[in-house]
Structure 1
Amino acid sequence: MKEWKKISLFVCVFAFVREFRPIEPFYAAYLTSPAINITLIEVSRDVYSVGAYSCFVLIIIVFLITDYLRYKPVLIVDGLCGMITYFNIIGSPGILRMQIGQVFYGFFFSSEVAYFGYLYAMTEDKRYYQRITGQARAACLSGKFISSLLAQSLSLINGSVPFVELVYMSAFGMFFSTIWAFIMPSVKHSIYFHAADIESTTQTSSAIVYSPKGIESETVKAIKSAYQEKKEAVKQCDIKKGNFRKALARLWNDFKNSYSDPYVVKLCFWWALAYGAYVQVYTYINVLYTYTLDLNNDSEFTLYNGAAESLNTLIGAISAYLIGKLELNWFRVGDAFFAVGSMLAGLVLFGCYCTRTLWFIYAFYIIYGCLYQTMLTIAESEVAKRLGKDSYGLVFGFNSFIALFLHTLMTYGIVQGHVISVTTAQQFTIYAGYYTFLGLLFCGFVVKKHLTAKEKLLVCKL
């Protein structure tokens, strides 16, 4: 097997198992069930909010240390944090224990960038970057699909949601991902910080001590050996300091070059803002399901959260795959595509607020997932076409940072009610307005491009 295929296989297995968390579609239902017995308001404002703040703070740390630590240690800690997250909701935990679990979940959620960075650092032939990225994303979506489908199947077979069993299965998935991370090959050199280590080591080890007569006393040899070791230690220290400065300079140059293209900036703007709203929708859609049941006083309805999540993932993956095969001039039609797609996303999210029928909310969420994954695929592929190959992880990490910053602001201002106090259903009108704003903004880009083209045409005629 070729080396790049071997690395891709390792990462795909890790990504698949990492997303094997069957409790996720029923997380809010579990916390409000008799097993835990906290209110929906406590789930939203006291538990989930800690996870949002933790994600935002920790993604900065993860972003800075991942490349320096050469990825693998971060992948191992990622799995351990996932295990701690789920072990903290087993039994009869109090609010504080669940909040501690959410702190660890923040690291787990933030370190997704690590296995993509590992993928790029371990693949020397940059021609395969696009292919292995697609494979890793497919593995991630497949893990979510299988996980949600299994959770729903067990719920139907059992007659009710087996919450505790799903929590243990999720913890086992995290345990397996930790073990798998241990056996993954280590990164010998990273993209930025350790790129020159091998070269400097090779140069140092090639030095030969020359003695004219070839005969020296043991004392002289010992003195020379100690002196040489001290000299090499100082030299290596200087090399590492120089490498660190060079790495920071290279990182800054890659950052400036990546965001110097207006087309990339525009797509990254949509990507970061849409992703921030997606995290909010993904987090609070389960709260909306339980909120709607409570509003309808319906205690007999069978929850199909797992089925909705699995269909959301599957249809989103299929639509992303199909749109990826379309050969269109996205530079020309992309603005219109994002304008229409964003406004449709806003429309279906508004539908989540308007209806009190859970089946319709499931359907709207699936449609939203399809629209989001389709648009994200185009945004990612178009940005990747214009980036230096070493900059994929950098841009992904920075966009994630902006997205989680927005997610944190919305959590503080909307969910916790520090800016505006709304119900769970009313939150979705804000998300709808958010996507509608993005759609209108890209409509403006369409109009501007059209007017600019007309002006150029008039100038040419004159």
Structure 2
Amino acid sequence: MGCWAELKSSDWGFPTAVLSLYGFFANCRIAEPFLTPYLIGPYKNISEEVVTNYLYPIWTYSYLAFLFPVFLLTDFLRHKPLIVVQGLFLVSNYVLLCFAPGLLSMVFLEIHYAVVTATEVAYFSYIYSVISLENYQRATGYLRSAMLFGYTFGAGLGQVLVSLAGLDYFDINAITLGTTSVAFLISFWLPRPRRSMFFKGRKTVAWVRQSQRELPWRTDSPDETVSDEEEASPGKHKMERHGNAGWCSRKNVFSAGHLLWQSFRESYSSRHLIYWSLWWALATAGYMQILNYIQLMWDHIAPSATSSVYNGGVEAACSLVGAAAAFSVGYIKVNWSVWGELALGLFSAIGAGAVFLIVLTSNIWACYAGYALFKSCYMLLITITTFQIAVNLSMECYALTFGINTFVALSLQTMMTLIVVDGATLGLDIVTQFIIYGTYHAVISVLFLIRGTYTACTKRHTPEPPDNKQKESVGEHVAVIHEEPF
């Protein structure tokens, strides 16, 4: 109660609390760890080959198609409408799963889920447009914790309902429909941000940049700041300041494009940040591919038709172990500018070994352990990467960089899906796919072991500039847990 009272009494508390509540229910997807057994079981009766080589790739292609337009729409419409859309499509997702028969309905399901994942950018960036800079760290902690707890609670509850309560997969999909409906209703409570990050006009770009670095968040919107010219002719500028015509004006679009380009140049002007972004894109592509197809590997080793399924319990345990690994980064005092790239190489090698364990074992529990190890390594490294990128960038560059990195990762994942998985090309079986994924992560580890060794040798005895030391200290004391990439 004390925590809630503190949130409610502060200017940043209400949107943070509502968004955290939304994040909990939106990620409390009780049935998600059991999606593959549900699709290939008697309820949908789709073959494993069709699910692997035809159905799941549709999500990847659709996600790639939606990601960049959704990123621009999120800023243009100021976040809230996209979060409401995400909640709506979460509901329609489980309506299709519960009540729509046939393969065609499952194709629409994959497209709907692509909209859900693409609009996650709105969830992740919303809070930074409505709160002050000094509250970013605390708000991020609440949001990440809510997401993680929701996912862990949902997966664990799903396992209990299946194993102990004896509910079938249709029942837990119906329950998940209820939790996502609650998330959809909560999304309407979110206050709409008064400003966007890029679509805000030339006159306000400098004001916003300065306020983000120096000033507390103001209750008056930068879009509503009135100039001397506007005071002289308020009717002329009323539509431009408050209506969609102003937002769509040529001057505003040009200003947004110019700011996007400037942010892009700032984000990738440093070779150091380019290497971290490269690892982000390469590793995330492989991580999402394994995350997307791991249930098929589990079903291959221990078929759900004849074996007990513990997918929910495994996902819940993996989330907690991975979160603990990521959280520990904030308490490890390491000069990441010297040793960070080497750490990327070492833990990527461990992750590659874990993927080979998954594919080479015939014991389902060893497969579960390999998945837990792989996921923990990724969450640890993505947290380190987040620190190294975020502490060196302004807020505009922060959002754009993570958007671009995710887009590159998804493009790589789409290429892997098209070549390796899609039935129209190679259409490989699940075992061969995972051998390729293990090899892929091994190549990443070799590249960054070489690069990391070079960086450690050249920078170890080089004095670090004072401002970099200060930024490094920020990275050592801030922990951001990533269950899904931005």
Q: Is the 8 A contact 1:46 1:99 kept in 2?
A: no
* Aligned-pair CA distance for 1:450: 4.9
1:120 aligned to 110, 118, 128, which one? 128
Cα distance in 1 for partners of 2:117, 2:397 equals: 21
* Aligned-pair CA distance for 1:121: 0.8
Cα distance in 1 for partners of 2:13, 2:311 equals: 35
Aligned counterparts, 1:324-335, within 5 A: 324-335=330-341
**CA deviation map 1:225-280 (0-9, x unaligned):** xxx84686589867854233212211210111011111111111111111111111
In the alignment, is residue 169 of structure 1 matched against residue 175 of structure 2? Answer: yes
TM-score by length of structure 2 reads 0.84
User: 1:256 matched to which residue of 2?
Assistant: 265
Q: Is the 8 A contact 1:22 1:151 kept in 2?
A: yes
User: 1:29 matched to which residue of 2?
Assistant: 37
In the alignment, is residue 390 of structure 1 matched against residue 396 of structure 2? Answer: yes
Q: Is the 8 A contact 1:129 1:389 kept in 2?
A: no
In the alignment, is residue 104 of structure 1 matched against residue 128 of structure 2? Answer: no
User: 2:155 matched to which residue of 1?
Assistant: 148
Cα distance in 1 for partners of 2:443, 2:240 equals: 57
In structure 2, relative to structure 1, the CA distance for the partners of 1:322 and 1:275 (3 Å cut) is: same
Q: Is the 8 A contact 1:62 1:110 kept in 2?
A: yes
Cα distance in 1 for partners of 2:37, 2:67 equals: 28
Cα distance in 2 for partners of 1:421, 1:299 equals: 24
User: 1:202 matched to which residue of 2?
Assistant: 226
Q: Is the 8 A contact 2:156 2:312 kept in 1?
A: yes
User: 1:404 matched to which residue of 2?
Assistant: 410
Larger radius of gyration: 1
Cα distance in 1 for partners of 2:241, 2:123 equals: 33
Q: Which moved more, 1:192-201 or 1:3-12?
A: 192-201
Amino acid at match of 1:270: W
User: 2:434 matched to which residue of 1?
Assistant: 428
In structure 2, relative to structure 1, the CA distance for the partners of 1:311 and 1:206 (3 Å cut) is: same
Q: Is the 8 A contact 2:342 2:456 kept in 1?
A: no
User: 2:366 matched to which residue of 1?
Assistant: 360
* Aligned-pair CA distance for 1:203: 3.9
* Aligned-pair CA distance for 1:412: 1.1
State the secondary structure of the residue aligned to 2:164: helix
* Aligned-pair CA distance for 1:193: 0.9
Cα distance in 1 for partners of 2:134, 2:28 equals: 30
In structure 2, relative to structure 1, the CA distance for the partners of 1:235 and 1:261 (3 Å cut) is: closer
Q: Is the 8 A contact 2:322 2:379 kept in 1?
A: yes
* Aligned-pair CA distance for 1:112: 0.8
Cα distance in 1 for partners of 2:101, 2:17 equals: 38
Q: Is the 8 A contact 2:266 2:397 kept in 1?
A: no
User: 2:277 matched to which residue of 1?
Assistant: 268
User: 1:215 matched to which residue of 2?
Assistant: none
In structure 2, relative to structure 1, the CA distance for the partners of 1:444 and 1:168 (3 Å cut) is: same
In structure 2, relative to structure 1, the CA distance for the partners of 1:206 and 1:91 (3 Å cut) is: closer
In the alignment, is residue 8 of structure 1 matched against residue 16 of structure 2? Answer: yes
Cα distance in 2 for partners of 1:303, 1:388 equals: 46
In structure 2, relative to structure 1, the CA distance for the partners of 1:17 and 1:448 (3 Å cut) is: same
In structure 2, relative to structure 1, the CA distance for the partners of 1:8 and 1:52 (3 Å cut) is: same
Cα distance in 1 for partners of 2:355, 2:14 equals: 41
Stretches of structure 1 lacking an aligned partner (at least 5 in a row): 210-227, 458-462
User: 1:460 matched to which residue of 2?
Assistant: none
* Aligned-pair CA distance for 1:426: 1.8
2:137 aligned to 124, 130, 135, which one? 130
Stretches of structure 2 lacking an aligned partner (at least 5 in a row): 1-8, 205-220, 464-486
Q: Is the 8 A contact 1:22 1:148 kept in 2?
A: yes
- The two structures, once aligned, show a CA RMSD in angstroms of 2.5
User: 2:57 matched to which residue of 1?
Assistant: 49
**CA deviation map 1:119-161 (0-9, x unaligned):** 11111x22332332233222211111001000001111134x5
Q: Which moved more, 1:448-457 or 1:171-180?
A: 448-457
Cα distance in 2 for partners of 1:380, 1:233 equals: 39
Amino acid at match of 1:99: V
User: 2:308 matched to which residue of 1?
Assistant: 302
* Aligned-pair CA distance for 1:26: 0.6
In structure 2, relative to structure 1, the CA distance for the partners of 1:158 and 1:7 (3 Å cut) is: same
In structure 2, relative to structure 1, the CA distance for the partners of 1:442 and 1:91 (3 Å cut) is: same
User: 2:472 matched to which residue of 1?
Assistant: none
In structure 2, relative to structure 1, the CA distance for the partners of 1:354 and 1:189 (3 Å cut) is: same
In the alignment, is residue 244 of structure 1 matched against residue 253 of structure 2? Answer: yes
Cα distance in 1 for partners of 2:240, 2:361 equals: 70
Q: Is the 8 A contact 2:54 2:423 kept in 1?
A: no
**CA deviation map 1:336-368 (0-9, x unaligned):** 211110010000101111011111111111111
Cα distance in 2 for partners of 1:86, 1:137 equals: 24
Count, aligned residues: 434
In the alignment, is residue 86 of structure 1 matched against residue 94 of structure 2? Answer: yes
